[in-house]
Amino acid sequence: MKLRRMILLGMLSVPIVLGIYYFLPEKALPKGSVVDRLIVYKSKRKMLVYNGDKLLKTYTISLGKNPLGHKQFEGDNKTPEGVYSINERNPNSAYHKNLGVSYPNVADREFAEKQGKSPGGLIKIHGLRNDRGYIGKFHRWKDWTAGCIAVTDEEIDELYIAVKENAVIEILP
């Protein structure tokens, strides 16, 4: 009887915990913030945003489906590693909004060319696919992009406003 009660209690607790996770608001980026540097720690699935030396916020992210190692070729589903810049922004993306990462750089292109392949491109920081915004924070449970860095729609909204043109993004293993 006790076991049955414990199982029932556990089954009832799961939807409550998931609801709290989904709906509990997270700390927003302070209004008026200017982000001039982003550091991504791929192994931790974290992106830290800074103004100068001041940490403004830490985001939990999803990466490319094959996240280990540096992106080398188109279609390898890896997120690049190295120092790049935020070189564009698109408010009409298929993934809510996005910020462009300047991959590939000269070294990335040269390496791929020596292998007779394309280095790929179109690496972005983006929200969820336009018809999938309801997934919210649950997207973080899996690496699902083709090499991009994914955040929630609310998070890309605040980053889109705050990240300055040509901000540095350092992507670490």
Residues assigned a catalytic role: 126, 148
- Cβ atoms of 61 and 48 closer than 8 Å: no
18: amino acid identity, one letter: L
Q: Own/partner pairs for 151-155, CB < 8 Å, 24+ apart?
A: 151/47, 151/59, 151/61, 151/125, 151/126, 151/127, 152/127, 152/128, 153/96, 153/97, 153/127, 153/128, 155/59, 155/127
CA dihedral 53, 48, 149, 172 (to 10 degrees): 80
User: Taking Cα atoms as reference points, which of 169, 131, 135 lies closest to residue 152?
Assistant: 135
Phi, psi of 118 (to 5 degrees): -90, 140
From CA 63, how far away is CA 56, in angstroms rounded?
21
